[in-house]
């Protein structure tokens, strides 16, 4: 009898619920037994490691064999096509995001064992850490809209608490409060949208909602879509919610920054994809495609320029994180098989290289006590291993071959250009240019960071710095290795991970049939026609677009400089230099290598500086205005 029960428990059908339960059970056990450091670390390691293992075991039945797991709690099943009870549903898309979450959580946990060893209240840290992981995993695997909201609440409050964990750090409590206020606005939007949909359809099951709502949009349903969309945008930190990410990343411990960047943002992107492709099935509409692509393009450009203006290591990385999420949203918004695959590929790469970069920033903070670029320098002499790992992450995010960022960005360039050719809409070609400009500015920004932190003169304050512990280096090395492998093997990554996940976006009926057994006709296999990551013939096209992008930046800078020279008189003794104002004339250090560029664009940066006041009332107003604009746009075009 026990043998039969064991076989039943080892059925992959149960793995998704086991994964969620392991995180929450681990959090509960740490509350009980967490005072013992060894036992606490063992519980966290087993919970995170076993969860990742279970999801890896699902790759073959779901990703390769094309299966879908529908799991009803308490053996309750749909009766006559009507869904009753709480259910989980895991298709290739859900498993893809689940793997991203589990990987980031496991590596962050390994890093935390050394990084957090000197902090007070470690048991509370690991409890909140595992609750955050469980909340995101529950959101990704939930087949019920209300339970997605419950998981959003759990992950939001866990993230707020972890942001404020080091409450003696300047700005930690303020950042947590901002996140709490705006995060609650987002959660309220999700709850309000859920209520409206329940009032319309009298069900909360995602599959059944998809059968009822699709093609039957009325005013209430459209408002519900706008509410849910803005709610999940707050979790992804899409513009105009990007300042929250910078504040949270700057204050939170490095492992938590990895979760915010690699896990929380993905929960928002996942929610947006489920809404647009599955629940409302609106991605065949050009207006919705424009909406997603526009927001993604704005996010990638605005946040990369904000990153250039930063002098704090972690805040700079935070803005870059949202800039890279902009790539994902823009690619997924194309509503093409190649675009979806490229966007998911970049989402995976973002988790890897951004996690690596935040961990290296944590290593620097751990040894020097600061992330101020003006107070750092020359650390390659003291921390050579961390320097090499940082350079791998910097090359990856900058899109330099053969690292993973190049592969996914190259596919995004192809997808946007292909969309422009197919539709005859030059706007999509402009998105390609924006993506290339953003990538160029990203590289420039990381040249600045590399010079400021790891090269140049070593300050006296950093002379006592040394290489971090083996545990921290091992965690960073895992992500660095994955950055290399996923860049060198793009065909395998697409075949076994991103293409199966992307294909689910264009076969919604398969998701519905697996949950309800309705027998709806399913779509054929999605057709992926990538030009090829390493095909040299197509580098000419990339070069031409890159040159056009560079020309646009150069002309804009030149125009601004010429215009200013007409209205300002520069003292003769400054004419030999960049042409700066007298009060700004000084030796340019590693922390500000691009002073000339920022001087030419100073009106833009001044405007952005004034706009980002740091006041929670202003950020709350942004959320309300964004919601109002989303509602108006949705009511007009849908």
Residue 204 above 50 pLDDT?
A: yes
Closest to 270 measured CA to CA, from 300, 244, 235, 301: 235
* Token pair belonging to 427: 């706007």
Lowest mean pLDDT among 6-15, 49-58, 479-488: 6-15
pLDDT at 565: 46
pLDDT at 563 over 90: no
d(CA 568, CA 507): 60
Query: Which secondary-structure segment (H or E) carries 57?
Result: helix 37-57
What's residue 535's pLDDT? Answer: 57
How many CB atoms are located within 10 Å of the residue 547 CB? 11
301-to-432, 434, 437, 443 alpha-carbon distances in Å: 12, 7, 8, 13
Give the closest residue to 346 by CA, choosing from 415, 278, 295.
415
Count CA within 13 A, CB hemisphere, residue 172. Answer: 16
Model pLDDT for residues 79-127, shown as the tens digit of each residue: 555 556 688 999 999 999 999 999 999 999 999 999 998 888 899 999 9
502 close to 337: Cβ distance less than 8 angstroms: yes
Is the CB of residue 510 less than 8 Å from the CB of residue 504?
A: yes
Q: Where is mean pLDDT largest: 173-177, 271-275, 310-314, 437-441?
A: 271-275
Mean pLDDT score of the chain: 86
Report whether pLDDT(295) > 50: yes
- Residue 292: Cβ within 10 Å count: 24
Q: Report the pLDDT averaged over residues 171-199.
A: 93
pTM: 0.90
The pLDDT of residue 117 is 87
List the beta bridge partners of residue 578.
Answer: none
Tell me: the pLDDT tens digits for 155-165? 999 999 999 99
pLDDT for residue 127: 96
Per-residue pLDDT, 532: 59
Which phi and psi (to 5°) does residue 88 adopt? -110, 145
pLDDT at 37 over 50: yes
CB-based contact 471:111 (threshold 8 Å): yes
Helix axes 265-273, 313-332, angle to 10 degrees: 10
Count of CB atoms situated within 10 Å of the CB of 469: 16
Residues in the chain: 638
Q: Is 28 exposed, middle or buried (0-12, 13-18, 19+ CB in 10 A)?
A: middle
pLDDT for res 602: 75
- Which pLDDT does position 8 carry in this prediction? 60
Which ranges constitute the DSSP H helices of 237-281?
A: 242-251, 254-259, 265-273
pLDDT tens for residues 451-481? 889 987 888 888 889 999 999 999 999 999 9
Domain boundaries, the chain: 285-481+540-563+586-600
> Is the confidence at residue 530, as pLDDT, over 70?
no
Residues 6+ apart with CB under 8 A from 629: none
Share of the chain above pLDDT 90, in %: 60
Q: Are 234 and 202 in contact (CB under 8 A)?
A: no
CB 472 within 8 A of CB 393: no
Cβ contacts of 452 within 8 Å, gap of 6 or more: 373, 374, 376, 377, 589, 590, 591
What digits encode the pLDDT tens for the residues 473-510? 999 999 999 999 999 999 999 999 999 999 999 999 99
Q: How high is the pLDDT of residue 540?
A: 53
Instruction: Single out the residue of 531, 436, 442, 533 nearest to residue 488, CA to CA.
Output: 533
557 — pLDDT class (breaks 50, 70, 90)? very low
How many Å apart are CA 137 and CA 21, to the nearest integer? 10
Q: Are 175 and 314 in contact (CB under 8 A)?
A: no
Q: How far is CA 284 from CA 276, 277, 513, in A?
A: 10, 9, 21
Whole-number pLDDT of residue 82: 56
Task: Inform me whether the pLDDT recorded for 77 exceeds 80.
Answer: no
Residue 315 exposed, middle or buried by CB count within 10 Å (0-12, 13-18, 19+): buried
């Amino acid at each position: 009898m026990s043998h039969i029960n064991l076989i039943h428990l080892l059925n992959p059908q149960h793995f998704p619920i086991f994964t969620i339960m392991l995180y929450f059970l681990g959090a509960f056990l740490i509350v009980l037994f967490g005072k013992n450091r060894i036992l606490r670390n063992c519980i966290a390691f087993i919970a995170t490691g076993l969860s990742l293992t279970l999801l890896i075991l699902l790759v073959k039945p779901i990703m390769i064999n094309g299966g879908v797991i529908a799991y009803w709690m308490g053996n309750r099943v749909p009766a006559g096509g009507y869904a009753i009870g709480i259910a989980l549903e895991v298709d290739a898309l859900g498993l893809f995001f689940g793997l991203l979450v589990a990987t980031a959580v496991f590596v962050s946990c390994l890093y935390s064992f050394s990084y957090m060893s000197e902090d007070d209240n470690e048991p509370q840290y690991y409890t909140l850490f595992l609750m955050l992981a469980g909340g995101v995993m529950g959101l990704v695997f939930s087949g019920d809209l209300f339970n997605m909201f419950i998981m959003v609440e759990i992950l939001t409050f866990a993230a707020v608490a972890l942001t404020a964990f080091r409450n003696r750090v300047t700005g930690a409590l303020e950042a947590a409060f901002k996140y709490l206020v705006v995060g609650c606005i987002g959660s309220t939007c999700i709850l309000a949208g859920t209520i409206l949909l329940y009032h319309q359809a009298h069900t909360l099951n995602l599959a059944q909602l998809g059968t009822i709502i699709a093609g039957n949009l009325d005013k209430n349903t459209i408002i519900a879509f706008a509410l849910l969309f803005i709610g999940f945008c707050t979790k992804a930190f899409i513009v105009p919610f990007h300042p929250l990410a910078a504040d949270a990343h700057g204050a939170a411990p490095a492992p938590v920054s990895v979760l915010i960047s690699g896990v929380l943002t993905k929960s928002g992107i996942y929610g947006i994809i489920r809404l647009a492709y599955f629940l409302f099935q609106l991605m065949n509409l050009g207006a919705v495609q424009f909406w997603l692509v526009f927001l993604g393009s704005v996010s990638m450009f605005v946040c990369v320029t904000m990153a250039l203006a930063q002098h704090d290591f972690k805040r700079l990385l935070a803005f870059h994180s949202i800039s890279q999420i902009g790539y994902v949203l823009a690619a997924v918004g194309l509503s093409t098989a190649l675009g979806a695959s490229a966007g998911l590929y970049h989402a995976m790469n973002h988790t890897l290289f951004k996690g690596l970069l935040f961990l290296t920033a944590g290593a620097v903070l751990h040894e020097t006590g600061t992330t101020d670029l003006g107070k750092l320098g020359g650390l390659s002499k003291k921390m050579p291993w961390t320097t090499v790992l940082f350079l791998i992450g910097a090359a990856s995010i900058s899109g330099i071959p053969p690292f993973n960022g190049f592969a996914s960005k190259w596919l995004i360039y192809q997808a946007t250009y292909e969309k422009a050719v197919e539709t005859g809409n030059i706007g999509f070609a402009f998105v390609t240019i924006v993506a290339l400009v953003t990538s160029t500015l990203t590289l420039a920004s990381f040249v600045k960071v590399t010079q400021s932190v790891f090269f140049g003169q070593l300050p006296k304050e950093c002379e006592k710095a040394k290489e971090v512990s083996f545990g921290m280096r091992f965690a960073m090395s895992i992500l660095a290795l994955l950055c290399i492998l996923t860049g060198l093997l793009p065909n395998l990554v697409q075949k076994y991970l991103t293409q199966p996940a992307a294909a689910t976006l264009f076969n919604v009926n398969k998701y519905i049939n697996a949950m309800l057994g309705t027998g709806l006709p399913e779509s054929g296999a999605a057709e992926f026609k990538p030009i090829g990551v390493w095909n040299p013939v197509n580098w000419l096209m990339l070069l031409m677009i890159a040159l056009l992008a560079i020309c646009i930046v150069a002309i804009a800078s030149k125009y601004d400089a010429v215009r200013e020279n007409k209205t300002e008189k520069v003292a003769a003794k400054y004419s030999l230099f960049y042409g700066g104002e007298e009060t700004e004339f000084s030796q340019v250090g590693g922390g500000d290598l691009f002073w000339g560029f920022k001087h030419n664009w100073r009106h833009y940066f001044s405007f952005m500086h004034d706009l980002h006041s740091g006041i929670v009332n202003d950020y709350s107003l942004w959320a309300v205005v964004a919601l109002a604009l989303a509602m108006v746009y949705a009511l007009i075009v849908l």
